[in-house]
Structure 1
Protein backbone atom coordinates (compact mmCIF):
# COMPACT_ATOMS: atom_id res chain seq x y z
CA UNK A 1 0.00 0.00 0.00
CA UNK A 2 1.50 3.35 -1.02
CA UNK A 3 1.80 6.33 1.33
CA UNK A 4 -0.75 8.19 -0.83
CA UNK A 5 -3.24 5.35 -0.51
CA UNK A 6 -2.71 5.17 3.25
CA UNK A 7 -3.23 8.92 3.63
CA UNK A 8 -6.55 8.75 1.75
CA UNK A 9 -7.82 5.66 3.55
CA UNK A 10 -10.39 5.99 6.31
CA UNK A 11 -9.85 3.21 8.80
CA UNK A 12 -12.75 2.09 11.00
CA UNK A 13 -13.13 3.77 14.38
CA UNK A 14 -11.93 1.70 17.33
CA UNK A 15 -9.03 0.04 15.50
CA UNK A 16 -5.30 0.45 15.90
CA UNK A 17 -3.55 0.30 12.54
CA UNK A 18 0.04 -0.95 12.18
CA UNK A 19 2.09 -0.77 9.02
CA UNK A 20 4.64 -3.55 8.80
CA UNK A 21 8.00 -3.20 7.11
CA UNK A 22 6.90 -6.04 4.85
CA UNK A 23 4.09 -3.85 3.43
CA UNK A 24 1.26 -5.43 5.39
CA UNK A 25 -1.41 -3.37 7.06
CA UNK A 26 -2.59 -4.86 10.34
CA UNK A 27 -5.81 -3.57 11.91
CA UNK A 28 -6.50 -4.55 15.51
CA UNK A 29 -9.67 -3.68 17.40
CA UNK A 30 -8.87 -1.66 20.49
CA UNK A 31 -11.28 -1.49 23.39
CA UNK A 32 -11.09 0.19 26.75
CA UNK A 33 -10.68 -3.23 28.40
CA UNK A 34 -7.90 -4.22 26.02
CA UNK A 35 -5.98 -1.01 26.56
CA UNK A 36 -6.52 -0.98 30.34
CA UNK A 37 -5.46 -4.62 30.62
CA UNK A 38 -2.19 -3.96 28.78
CA UNK A 39 -1.58 -0.93 31.01
CA UNK A 40 -2.22 -3.05 34.12
CA UNK A 41 0.24 -5.73 32.93
CA UNK A 42 2.86 -3.06 32.18
CA UNK A 43 2.41 -1.64 35.67
CA UNK A 44 2.88 -5.12 37.16
CA UNK A 45 6.06 -5.44 35.10
CA UNK A 46 7.44 -2.28 36.68
CA UNK A 47 6.51 -3.47 40.18
CA UNK A 48 7.97 -6.96 39.61
CA UNK A 49 11.00 -6.32 37.46
CA UNK A 50 11.77 -2.63 37.89
CA UNK A 51 11.30 0.50 35.86
CA UNK A 52 14.08 -0.34 33.40
CA UNK A 53 13.16 -3.94 32.62
CA UNK A 54 13.20 -4.62 28.88
CA UNK A 55 9.58 -4.87 27.82
CA UNK A 56 7.72 -3.96 24.65
CA UNK A 57 4.06 -3.60 23.73
CA UNK A 58 2.73 -3.68 20.18
CA UNK A 59 6.29 -3.76 18.78
CA UNK A 60 7.23 -6.23 16.05
CA UNK A 61 9.37 -9.20 17.03
CA UNK A 62 11.04 -11.25 14.31
CA UNK A 63 9.87 -14.83 13.80
CA UNK A 64 11.91 -15.80 10.72
CA UNK A 65 9.76 -18.50 9.09
CA UNK A 66 6.44 -16.90 10.09
CA UNK A 67 4.67 -13.61 10.02
CA UNK A 68 6.27 -11.32 12.60
CA UNK A 69 4.25 -10.58 15.73
CA UNK A 70 3.60 -7.42 17.72
CA UNK A 71 2.37 -8.90 21.01
CA UNK A 72 0.42 -6.91 23.57
CA UNK A 73 3.29 -7.38 26.02
CA UNK A 74 6.68 -9.05 25.73
CA UNK A 75 9.29 -9.32 28.45
CA UNK A 76 12.76 -9.56 26.97
CA UNK A 77 16.07 -10.87 28.27
CA UNK A 78 18.06 -8.08 29.91
CA UNK A 79 20.87 -8.51 27.38
CA UNK A 80 18.51 -8.42 24.38
CA UNK A 81 19.79 -6.34 21.48
CA UNK A 82 17.89 -4.84 18.57
CA UNK A 83 18.78 -6.30 15.19
CA UNK A 84 17.65 -4.12 12.29
CA UNK A 85 15.38 -2.17 14.70
CA UNK A 86 13.64 -5.32 15.99
CA UNK A 87 14.13 -7.92 18.66
CA UNK A 88 14.37 -11.56 17.69
CA UNK A 89 12.23 -14.30 19.18
CA UNK A 90 15.35 -15.71 20.91
CA UNK A 91 15.35 -12.69 23.25
CA UNK A 92 11.77 -13.21 24.50
CA UNK A 93 11.12 -14.58 28.00
CA UNK A 94 7.34 -14.05 28.08
CA UNK A 95 4.64 -13.00 25.64
CA UNK A 96 1.17 -11.96 26.79
CA UNK A 97 -1.80 -11.43 24.49
CA UNK A 98 -5.08 -9.85 25.60
CA UNK A 99 -8.12 -11.47 24.03
CA UNK A 100 -10.54 -9.24 22.17
CA UNK A 101 -13.85 -10.40 20.75
CA UNK A 102 -12.34 -10.79 17.27
CA UNK A 103 -8.97 -12.26 18.31
CA UNK A 104 -9.98 -15.17 20.58
CA UNK A 105 -9.20 -17.96 18.09
CA UNK A 106 -5.87 -16.38 17.15
CA UNK A 107 -4.80 -15.80 20.76
CA UNK A 108 -5.90 -19.19 22.10
CA UNK A 109 -4.96 -21.39 19.14
CA UNK A 110 -2.71 -19.83 16.49
CA UNK A 111 -0.42 -17.93 18.87
CA UNK A 112 -0.16 -20.88 21.26
CA UNK A 113 1.09 -23.06 18.43
CA UNK A 114 3.41 -20.42 16.99
CA UNK A 115 4.99 -19.27 20.25
CA UNK A 116 5.47 -22.85 21.41
CA UNK A 117 7.09 -23.78 18.10
CA UNK A 118 9.59 -20.93 18.55
CA UNK A 119 10.36 -21.94 22.13
CA UNK A 120 8.97 -18.84 23.85
CA UNK A 121 9.33 -19.98 27.49
CA UNK A 122 6.05 -18.49 28.78
CA UNK A 123 2.94 -17.53 26.83
CA UNK A 124 0.11 -15.84 28.74
CA UNK A 125 -3.42 -15.42 27.39
CA UNK A 126 -5.37 -12.78 29.31
CA UNK A 127 -9.11 -13.04 28.64
CA UNK A 128 -11.21 -10.19 30.07
CA UNK A 129 -14.43 -11.78 28.78
CA UNK A 130 -13.86 -15.11 30.55
CA UNK A 131 -12.19 -13.32 33.50
CA UNK A 132 -9.25 -15.71 33.33
CA UNK A 133 -5.56 -15.92 32.56
CA UNK A 134 -4.00 -19.00 30.96
CA UNK A 135 -0.26 -19.45 31.51
CA UNK A 136 1.44 -21.78 29.01
CA UNK A 137 4.88 -23.20 29.85
CA UNK A 138 7.18 -25.93 28.55
CA UNK A 139 7.12 -25.11 24.82
CA UNK A 140 7.15 -27.87 22.21
CA UNK A 141 7.21 -27.94 18.43
CA UNK A 142 3.42 -27.74 18.34
CA UNK A 143 2.46 -25.66 21.37
CA UNK A 144 2.99 -26.08 25.11
CA UNK A 145 2.95 -29.04 27.48
CA UNK A 146 1.49 -27.13 30.42
CA UNK A 147 -1.44 -24.71 30.52
CA UNK A 148 -2.70 -23.47 33.90
CA UNK A 149 -5.85 -21.34 34.16
CA UNK A 150 -6.21 -18.70 36.86
CA UNK A 151 -9.37 -16.70 37.56
CA UNK A 152 -9.47 -12.93 37.88
CA UNK A 153 -9.74 -11.92 41.52
CA UNK A 154 -7.56 -14.76 42.83
CA UNK A 155 -4.65 -12.64 44.05
CA UNK A 156 -1.12 -12.23 42.79
CA UNK A 157 0.17 -14.74 40.25
CA UNK A 158 3.97 -15.23 40.30
CA UNK A 159 5.28 -16.30 36.88
CA UNK A 160 8.84 -17.60 36.79
CA UNK A 161 10.93 -16.35 33.88
CA UNK A 162 13.70 -18.38 32.24
CA UNK A 163 16.36 -15.97 33.56
CA UNK A 164 15.41 -16.58 37.20
CA UNK A 165 13.36 -13.42 37.74
CA UNK A 166 9.67 -13.51 38.67
CA UNK A 167 6.97 -11.48 36.96
CA UNK A 168 3.97 -11.08 39.27
CA UNK A 169 0.61 -10.47 37.61
CA UNK A 170 -2.01 -9.03 39.97
CA UNK A 171 -5.21 -10.86 39.08
CA UNK A 172 -7.21 -8.65 41.46
CA UNK A 173 -6.36 -5.54 39.45
CA UNK A 174 -7.13 -6.70 35.90
CA UNK A 175 -10.02 -4.67 34.46
CA UNK A 176 -13.26 -6.39 33.59
CA UNK A 177 -15.34 -5.47 30.54
CA UNK A 178 -18.53 -3.50 30.87
CA UNK A 179 -21.66 -5.65 30.52
CA UNK A 180 -22.52 -4.41 27.02
CA UNK A 181 -19.09 -4.88 25.34
CA UNK A 182 -19.62 -8.43 24.15
Structure 2
Protein backbone atom coordinates (compact mmCIF):
# COMPACT_ATOMS: atom_id res chain seq x y z
CA UNK A 1 0.00 0.00 0.00
CA UNK A 2 1.27 3.46 -0.85
CA UNK A 3 0.59 6.32 1.54
CA UNK A 4 0.45 9.78 0.10
CA UNK A 5 2.28 12.49 2.04
CA UNK A 6 0.11 14.68 4.19
CA UNK A 7 0.31 18.38 3.44
CA UNK A 8 -0.22 20.49 6.52
CA UNK A 9 -2.63 23.36 6.24
CA UNK A 10 -0.95 26.73 6.02
CA UNK A 11 -1.87 29.59 8.31
CA UNK A 12 -4.56 31.75 6.80
CA UNK A 13 -2.98 35.08 7.78
CA UNK A 14 0.75 34.33 7.54
CA UNK A 15 1.01 33.68 11.29
CA UNK A 16 -0.36 30.63 13.07
CA UNK A 17 -3.62 30.97 15.00
CA UNK A 18 -5.28 28.58 17.43
CA UNK A 19 -7.71 27.59 14.69
CA UNK A 20 -4.79 26.75 12.36
CA UNK A 21 -3.15 24.58 15.03
CA UNK A 22 -6.42 22.79 15.76
CA UNK A 23 -6.63 21.78 12.07
CA UNK A 24 -3.32 19.88 12.27
CA UNK A 25 -3.43 16.09 12.51
CA UNK A 26 -3.94 14.63 15.98
CA UNK A 27 -0.61 13.95 17.67
CA UNK A 28 1.32 16.61 15.76
CA UNK A 29 4.30 17.65 17.88
CA UNK A 30 4.23 21.40 17.38
CA UNK A 31 4.64 24.54 19.42
CA UNK A 32 3.90 28.13 18.43
CA UNK A 33 5.71 31.15 19.89
CA UNK A 34 4.70 34.62 18.68
CA UNK A 35 2.68 33.04 15.88
CA UNK A 36 5.65 31.08 14.47
CA UNK A 37 5.23 27.31 14.31
CA UNK A 38 8.01 24.93 15.32
CA UNK A 39 7.83 21.17 14.79
CA UNK A 40 9.39 19.48 17.80
CA UNK A 41 11.22 16.16 17.45
CA UNK A 42 10.43 13.19 19.66
CA UNK A 43 12.51 13.47 22.83
CA UNK A 44 15.41 11.17 23.64
CA UNK A 45 14.65 8.35 26.11
CA UNK A 46 16.88 10.00 28.76
CA UNK A 47 14.81 13.20 28.45
CA UNK A 48 11.58 11.24 28.95
CA UNK A 49 13.04 9.42 31.94
CA UNK A 50 13.99 12.65 33.72
CA UNK A 51 10.52 14.09 33.04
CA UNK A 52 8.77 10.95 34.29
CA UNK A 53 10.84 10.73 37.48
CA UNK A 54 10.52 14.43 38.26
CA UNK A 55 6.73 14.26 37.83
CA UNK A 56 6.63 11.11 39.99
CA UNK A 57 8.67 12.82 42.73
CA UNK A 58 6.60 16.00 42.53
CA UNK A 59 3.11 14.45 42.43
CA UNK A 60 2.84 13.07 46.00
CA UNK A 61 3.98 16.41 47.43
CA UNK A 62 1.27 18.47 45.75
CA UNK A 63 -1.62 19.83 47.82
CA UNK A 64 -4.95 18.22 46.88
CA UNK A 65 -6.01 21.25 44.84
CA UNK A 66 -3.20 20.66 42.31
CA UNK A 67 -2.32 17.89 39.86
CA UNK A 68 0.66 17.19 37.62
CA UNK A 69 0.82 15.94 34.03
CA UNK A 70 3.48 15.62 31.38
CA UNK A 71 3.55 17.24 27.94
CA UNK A 72 0.06 18.68 27.68
CA UNK A 73 -0.88 21.51 25.36
CA UNK A 74 -0.98 24.92 27.02
CA UNK A 75 -2.46 28.13 25.64
CA UNK A 76 -0.40 31.10 26.81
CA UNK A 77 -1.63 33.83 24.46
CA UNK A 78 -4.15 34.03 21.60
CA UNK A 79 -2.64 36.90 19.57
CA UNK A 80 0.08 36.45 18.62
CA UNK A 81 -0.40 32.78 19.39
CA UNK A 82 1.76 31.19 22.10
CA UNK A 83 0.81 27.49 22.24
CA UNK A 84 3.30 25.13 23.89
CA UNK A 85 3.64 21.68 25.44
CA UNK A 86 5.83 22.00 28.55
CA UNK A 87 7.50 18.83 29.80
CA UNK A 88 5.70 19.12 33.16
CA UNK A 89 2.59 21.12 34.04
CA UNK A 90 1.10 21.58 37.53
CA UNK A 91 -2.48 22.81 37.25
CA UNK A 92 -5.67 23.09 39.30
CA UNK A 93 -7.21 19.74 40.25
CA UNK A 94 -10.74 20.84 39.33
CA UNK A 95 -9.77 21.30 35.67
CA UNK A 96 -11.05 18.29 33.68
CA UNK A 97 -8.34 16.07 32.25
CA UNK A 98 -10.05 16.42 28.87
CA UNK A 99 -9.21 20.15 28.71
CA UNK A 100 -7.16 21.01 25.64
CA UNK A 101 -5.40 23.34 25.49
CA UNK A 102 -4.86 24.07 29.18
CA UNK A 103 -5.42 27.78 29.92
CA UNK A 104 -2.38 29.49 31.48
CA UNK A 105 -4.47 30.92 34.32
CA UNK A 106 -5.06 27.37 35.64
CA UNK A 107 -1.31 26.67 35.98
CA UNK A 108 0.97 27.14 39.01
CA UNK A 109 4.16 25.69 37.56
CA UNK A 110 5.69 24.53 34.30
CA UNK A 111 9.01 22.72 33.94
CA UNK A 112 11.20 22.09 30.92
CA UNK A 113 14.03 19.57 30.71
CA UNK A 114 16.63 21.06 28.41
CA UNK A 115 17.71 18.91 25.47
CA UNK A 116 19.95 19.69 22.49
CA UNK A 117 16.94 20.41 20.27
CA UNK A 118 15.11 22.58 22.84
CA UNK A 119 18.01 24.47 24.41
CA UNK A 120 17.37 27.83 22.74
CA UNK A 121 13.61 27.81 23.39
CA UNK A 122 13.84 26.50 26.99
CA UNK A 123 16.40 29.15 27.96
CA UNK A 124 15.03 32.05 25.91
CA UNK A 125 11.62 32.39 24.28
CA UNK A 126 9.62 30.00 26.48
CA UNK A 127 10.41 31.51 29.90
CA UNK A 128 9.53 34.94 28.53
CA UNK A 129 6.24 33.59 27.14
CA UNK A 130 5.46 31.77 30.43
CA UNK A 131 6.13 34.94 32.45
CA UNK A 132 4.13 37.12 30.06
CA UNK A 133 1.20 34.68 30.44
CA UNK A 134 1.40 35.06 34.23
CA UNK A 135 2.47 31.50 35.07
CA UNK A 136 3.88 32.01 38.58
CA UNK A 137 6.73 29.48 38.48
CA UNK A 138 9.03 28.02 35.83
CA UNK A 139 11.63 25.31 36.43
CA UNK A 140 14.39 24.73 33.89
CA UNK A 141 16.12 21.39 34.39
CA UNK A 142 19.65 21.15 32.99
CA UNK A 143 20.56 17.44 32.73
CA UNK A 144 24.38 17.73 32.70
CA UNK A 145 25.22 18.35 35.46
CA UNK A 146 21.74 17.98 36.92
CA UNK A 147 20.74 21.47 38.00
CA UNK A 148 17.31 23.05 38.46
CA UNK A 149 16.81 26.76 37.86
CA UNK A 150 13.65 27.90 39.68
CA UNK A 151 12.15 31.11 38.30
CA UNK A 152 9.40 33.12 39.96
CA UNK A 153 7.87 36.61 40.05
CA UNK A 154 6.71 36.87 36.44
CA UNK A 155 7.00 40.33 34.95
CA UNK A 156 7.30 42.07 31.62
CA UNK A 157 9.91 40.27 29.54
CA UNK A 158 10.57 37.39 31.92
CA UNK A 159 10.86 36.23 35.50
CA UNK A 160 12.34 38.61 38.06
CA UNK A 161 13.73 36.02 40.53
CA UNK A 162 15.91 32.94 40.01
CA UNK A 163 17.25 30.30 42.39
CA UNK A 164 19.65 27.54 41.31
CA UNK A 165 19.61 24.11 42.94
CA UNK A 166 22.03 21.18 42.83
CA UNK A 167 21.92 18.16 45.13
CA UNK A 168 18.57 19.01 46.75
CA UNK A 169 15.71 21.26 45.69
CA UNK A 170 13.85 22.66 48.69
CA UNK A 171 11.28 25.42 48.12
CA UNK A 172 8.11 26.78 49.70
CA UNK A 173 6.35 28.26 46.66
CA UNK A 174 4.06 27.61 44.92
CA UNK A 175 3.81 24.89 47.60
CA UNK A 176 6.40 23.15 49.79
CA UNK A 177 8.47 20.74 47.71
CA UNK A 178 11.65 18.82 48.45
CA UNK A 179 13.32 16.80 45.70
CA UNK A 180 16.55 14.85 45.94
CA UNK A 181 18.24 15.89 42.70
CA UNK A 182 20.98 13.30 43.15
CA UNK A 183 18.26 10.62 43.15
CA UNK A 184 16.68 12.24 40.09
CA UNK A 185 20.10 12.17 38.40
CA UNK A 186 20.53 8.48 39.20
CA UNK A 187 17.16 7.78 37.54
CA UNK A 188 18.88 8.42 34.20
CA UNK A 189 20.78 5.17 34.66
CA UNK A 190 18.04 2.89 36.02
CA UNK A 191 16.98 -0.01 33.85
CA UNK A 192 13.33 -1.06 33.67
Specify the TM-score bucket, using the shorter chain as the normaliser.
0.7 to 0.9
In the alignment, the residues of structure 1 paired with residue 180 and residue 138 of structure 2 have an alpha-carbon distance, to the nearest angstrom, of 16
- Matched positions, count: 159
8 Å CA contact 1:136, 1:144 repeated in 2:
yes
Q: Structure 2, unaligned stretches of length 5 or more?
A: 7-20, 31-38
> How far apart, CA to CA, are the structure 1 residues paired with 2:23 and 2:110?
22
Give how far 1:98 is off. 0.4
- CA RMSD, 1 decimal: 2.8
Closer/same/farther in 2, CA of residues 51 and 103 from structure 1, 3 Å limit: same
In structure 2, the residue corresponding to 1:173 is in which secondary structure? Answer: helix
1:86 pairs with one of 82, 86, 101: 101
1:119 alignment partner, SS class: coil
Q: Is the 8 A contact 1:36 1:175 kept in 2?
A: no
1:100 to 110, 115, 124: 115
1:21 corresponds to: 22
Superposition pairs for residues 24-173 of structure 1, below 5 Å?
25=30, 26-49=39-62, 53-63=66-76, 64-65=78-79, 66-81=81-96, 85-151=100-166, 154-161=167-174, 165-173=175-183
- Determine the C-alpha separation between the residues in 2 that align with 1:157 and 1:175: 16
Counterpart CA distance in 2 for 1:81 and 1:97 is 23
- Aligned in 2, Cα 1:123/1:108: closer, same or farther, shift over 3 Å? same
CA deviation string 1:133-174 (max 9, x = no partner): 1000000021010011112xx22423511xxx3233331222
Provide the rounded CA distance (Å) in 2 between the counterparts of 1:169 and 1:122.
16
SS at match of 2:52: helix
Change (3 A) 1:55 1:28: same
TM-score, normalised with respect to structure 2:
0.71
The TM-score, its normalising length taken from structure 1, stands at: 0.74
The aligned residue for residue 9 of structure 1 is none
- Unpaired runs of 5+ residues, structure 1, are 7-19
Structure 1 residues 11-38: Cα deviation after superposition (integer angstroms, max 9, x where no partner): xxxxxxxxx5242653324122211110
Task: Give me the whole-angstrom Cα distance separating, in 1, the residues matched to 2:105 and 2:114.
Answer: 24
Matches of 2:164 and 2:134 in 1, distance apart? 20
